[in-house]
Amino acid sequence: GFDDDDDDDEEGSGGGGGGGGGGAPQRKKSETTVQTRMTLFLHIGMANGELEFCTVDETDGSLGDARRRILGVKGVQLRRAVVEGERVLLMLSTRPWLFYSWHGKLQLTPLSYDGLDAAAAFSSEQCEEGIVATAGDTLRIIAVEKLGELYNQTELPLRYTPRKIVQIPQPQLAQPGAADAKQLLCIIEADHNAVSELLRDAKTAEGDGS
């Protein structure tokens, strides 16, 4: 079967793997199986935002050791989809995730997209490998690109050359312990002998006034 390249510390965040603990049993929200080119996997989405998955022996149906990952704070929904001709598993929680096989390695990657309430795969002449989804009161049609990238990235245009990135301290963003608090990064930009837009606009206004 494939080697799983998930980090051990991330696996531990799920709360103890498939073994029993002292807490109450977790309620299952969604489950499905995905057949990679070599191995059959069983995935179970928990109502507490955890994903549990294990291998399934195709001969006798026995299950391998279960592994857990925390995907968010919302219950996990599982949906099948196709991306670049490969069968993948779309997972919906606080944010959407993709589980797929890439060059013999299993990947669990977050999507650079808003949280989705529901989703389903669809195919049309305009979009052969699409996903139709709802988010709040909006309908979304999504096409996943660049399967295999390991980083969740977003490009932002800048006016000047970036010089430093500073994290804004948490107390300045929200009350301590607030569940919806977000971390913000401040990008410091500067160029030699560059005039800021505010100063340039002010000088332009002075010239027009004279």
Domain range list for the chain? 3-142, 162-209
> Is residue 202 scored above 50 in pLDDT?
yes
Quote the CA–CA distance of 146 and 30 in Å, as a whole number.
27
38-56: pLDDT as tens digits:
678 888 899 999 999 888 8
Sign of torsion over alpha carbons 39, 97, 28, 50: positive
SS3 label, residue 79: strand
Q: Note the pLDDT of residue 203.
A: 79
Give 22's pLDDT tier (boundaries 50, 70, 90). Answer: very low
**Lowest-pLDDT choice from 95-109, 123-137, 157-171, 195-209:** 195-209
Which residues contact residue 159 at a Cβ distance below 8 angstroms, ignoring those fewer than 6 apart?
189, 197
Quote the CA–CA distance of 20 and 84 in Å, as a whole number.
39
Per-residue pLDDT averaged across 56-67, rounded?
87
> Is residue 75 scored above 70 in pLDDT?
yes
Q: Note the pLDDT of residue 134.
A: 92
> Is residue 59 scored above 70 in pLDDT?
yes
* pTM confidence score: 0.54
Q: Note the pLDDT of residue 76.
A: 92
Give 157's pLDDT tier (boundaries 50, 70, 90). Answer: confident
CATH for 3-142? 2.130.10.10
Mean of all residue pLDDT scores within the chain:
76
Per-residue pLDDT averaged across 96-118, rounded?
85
Per-residue pLDDT averaged across 84-99, rounded?
88
> Is residue 28 scored above 90 in pLDDT?
no
Q: Note the pLDDT of residue 18.
A: 39
Nearest CA to 89 among 75, 106, 74? 106
Per-residue pLDDT averaged across 127-151, rounded?
82
